[in-house]
Amino acid sequence: MTVPAPLVDIGINLTHHSFEADRNAVIARAKAAGLVHLVVTGSSLASSPAAAELAATDPAFLSSTAGVHPHHASELGDDGIPLLAALLATPSVVAVGECGLDYYRDLSPRAAQRRAFELQLELAVRTGKPLFLHQRDAHADFVAMLRALGPARGRAVAHCFTGTRAEAEQYLALGLHIGITGWICDERRGRHLVEVVREIPAGRLMLETDGPYLLPRSLQPKPASRRNEPVYLREVCRAVAAARGEAEETIAASTTATAAQFFGFALEGAGGSAAGSG
């Protein structure tokens, strides 16, 4: 029996209410499919502690992020940053975010978004933890704020990248890593990513589901549910491998090693730490 190549899902919203009834089964399916680590996304002052609590139940397999998504930027008051800082001091919380700018929905005023992002950029510098970044329809301001940090920026990943080749080139020039989701499997909206992923250096590319969102449209047979989960990360890996003209095992090995180094976690059964700095 062929053992599937190991994979890491760097962005899974596992505290989302859609996983309440069968979260343990979702994790079990991920392990059975050869995933070796999941990074649980924290995106608000409520979900970040929940993500950290979940990650602490299985620290060999789960890590989490702690941050405030731009949709929730208006909720980030004076007590928010100390709360996030306390979470980031725990071993299983490996990144600041999901944070950034979202001018597509503007669920928080843009000034509040920029302020919340600035506070979290400062938090990443202070803690030495990498950034887990979100950007939609705010590219110019997003890049300007990252550029202003200069060398202090440290490690950062543009999570769920769906942008243009020119945007990807700017991110890479800033030293960012890029996370690719099932958007690349969407023949309507994601076709341009086939070209984009060819330009991402192997050591800067990572994979994610962003579940329960972005179920890969190319899955065959079609799942009964529209909910995305880590077991479907193999379809993202397949699409990325096809776009790059590489073997799926090559993409799996490279993105897994990159994720472990970027976030600084040890891989189960890896015979020691694959941690990076911080």
189 within 8 A of 160, measured Cβ to Cβ? no
Q: What span, in angstroms and rounded, lies between the C-alpha atoms of 80 and 78? A: 6
Digit-by-digit pLDDT tens for the chain (278 residues) are 577 889 999 999 999 999 999 999 999 999 999 999 999 999 999 999 999 999 999 999 999 999 999 999 999 987 899 999 999 999 999 999 999 999 999 999 999 999 999 999 999 999 999 999 999 999 999 999 999 998 888 999 999 999 999 999 999 999 999 999 999 999 999 999 999 999 999 999 999 999 999 999 999 999 999 999 999 999 999 999 999 999 999 999 999 999 999 999 988 654 333 333 33
Integer Cα distance of 243 and 240 in angstroms: 5
**Amino acid 86: pLDDT:** 98
Separation CA 95–CA 102 (nearest Å): 19
Question: What is the rounded CA–CA span in Å between residue 98 and residue 73?
Answer: 11
Classify strands 131-136 and 7-12 as parallel, antiparallel or unpaired: unpaired
Rounded to a whole number of angstroms, the distance between the first and last alpha carbons of the chain is 38
Class of domain 7-263: alpha beta
Q: What pLDDT, on a 0 to 100 scale, did the predictor assign at position 1?
A: 56
Query: Which tokens belong to 266?
Result: 């040890």
pLDDT of residue 12: 98
- 3-class state of residue 158 by DSSP: strand
Instruction: Determine the Cα–Cα distance for residues 181 and 160; give it in Å rounded to an integer.
Output: 6
CA-to-CA distance for 91 and 88, rounded, in angstroms? 8
pLDDT of residue 274: 39
Its pTM stands at 0.94
Instruction: For residues 148 and 237, give the distance between their C-alpha atoms in angstroms, rounded to a whole number.
Output: 34
| Residues 181, 229 contacting (CB under 8 angstroms) | no
Residue 225 in tokens: 């549910």
